[in-house]
Amino acid sequence: MEFYYWLRKPPIKPIGSVTCIIKIDGDESVDVSTKIRVNAKNWDQAEKCFTGKDAARNEKDLKQFERRIKDVYDEILAEYPKAPVNPNEVVKRHREGLKEDSSVRQRKIHLFRECMREYLLHQSELVNAERLSVNTLDALISKRLVIERYLSKHKLLTIKGEDVNEKFMEDFKMAFIKDKYSDSTIAKYLIFIKSTLTFSRKRELIRFTSIESYRIEQPEQNDPIYPSERELQRMIEAAITPNHEKVMDIYCFCCYTSLSYSDYIELSNENLEFDEDGTKWIYSDRLKTFVSQRIPLLEEPVLDLIEKYGGDLANIPKLSNAYLNTCIKEIANLANVKKHLTFHSSRKYFVDYAYNHLGMSMENIIEIVGWTSSRMFKKYATVKTSTIKNDWLKNKSLHLQE
């Protein structure tokens, strides 16, 4: 059995389908599509092979096509062992099998909304296997709800996964720009859409995706936003109501421990340990990354707050993230702090405080905050001029002493 391939495409459009003729003992079949769509520039007709970044995936799909054809050939040969196998009979049975598979697949799933549902079910399985955090899954579910509202608003609830193309992505991006979403948030939604369709294609929920090579522009990284020491003090002084005071207690606690909301909300006395000289430590596995944190409790504001709530970590107030964000904005306005602060800015405050004020090394800060690499450090830390100067003078002094 031999396979002869070429690219069949419309005269104007660059994307076509790789087509095949099957030869058996000198007899040729009618044309049969492999269902592999590819840009003409990524098909080498002379070598009859794929090029470009998706070449490996396309070659894998082509091998799968050949295995299917050979399976059909073996099936016919088993039924009629003494008769020659007609290549057109192979094509006929192959197509009938595709129709059966297609009808099952179409009954099961074909809409983009259903693709998102299946993708999230898979992510839920990862949570159950402890390979993904609940918070990450919740964030993905939120994205799905926002995207479905967009589909409903633009009468796209019945759009198929295969019809989500580059025009859809650009229209989606422009609509969110008009709604004043940040560039980084828009990029996260586009990544979610692309991940959903890639998953759906790999699971054969859809035959292909038109946005495999769609490039999502990553926004420029802005300086991290967090309050200065003076601004933090002004916010503490501005928190005069009991609720605001409670919020600032939580915010300050996380400013000096680096705990994210998901880790603070799960905090208990089981996380508290003491070393040989009596220093208190928080040992915790981050819910987002499952990386261990080792946080020394050496700052007076933290120790005072623990004492304020009876020396028990479990007694530190547990409030919702939405409520904390709302109150922090209110307190910032009262303190005349003109920054867009969220609860998560406390974690960025810690990195700045530890690096620029305490002079801690990047390696130790990464250990405390529970990052897997130094990549996040660059997003959180602003190296101040005073830090460079102090480091220079410190090293110069050590050099002179030598």
Q: Residues with Cβ < 8 Å from 349, sequence gap 6 or more?
A: 226, 227, 232, 255
What is d(CA 122, CA 116) in angstroms, rounded to the nearest whole number?
Answer: 10
Q: Are residues 54 and 100 in the same domain?
A: yes
Q: Do 393 and 306 fall into the same domain?
A: yes
Query: What CATH number is attached to the domain comprising 315?
Result: 1.10.443.10
Domain assignment of residue 314, yes or no: yes
User: Do 388 and 285 share a structural domain?
Assistant: yes
Domain finish residue from 108, 143, 172: 108
The per-residue pLDDT for 250 is: 94
- Total domains, the chain: 3
Out of 51, 81, 108, a domain closes at 108
Nearest-10 crossing angle of helices 55-79, 87-108: 120
Tell me the sheet residues that pair with 3.
22
Asked whether residue 325 falls in the same domain as residue 252, the answer is yes
Residue 393 has pLDDT above 80, yes or no: no
Q: What is the pLDDT of residues 324-339, one digit of tens each?
A: 989 999 999 999 998 8
Determine the pLDDT at residue 223. 63
Q: Is residue 168's pLDDT more than 90?
A: yes
* pLDDT (0 to 100) of residue 45: 86
Q: What is the pLDDT of residue 103?
A: 54
Residue 127 has pLDDT above 80, yes or no: yes
Selection from 374, 387, 358, 349 nearest residue 257 by Cα: 349
Question: Could you tell me where the beta strands, DSSP code E, fall in 172-286?
Answer: 272-274, 280-285
pLDDT of residue 276: 86
**Domain extent for 250:** 229-399
Confidence category of residue 100, pLDDT binned at 50, 70, 90 = low
Q: Residue 123 has which token pair?
A: 């992510």
Across the chain, mean pLDDT equals 86
> In the prediction, which pLDDT does 104 show?
47
Give the pLDDT mean for 96-117: 70
Tokens found for residue 301: 């504001």
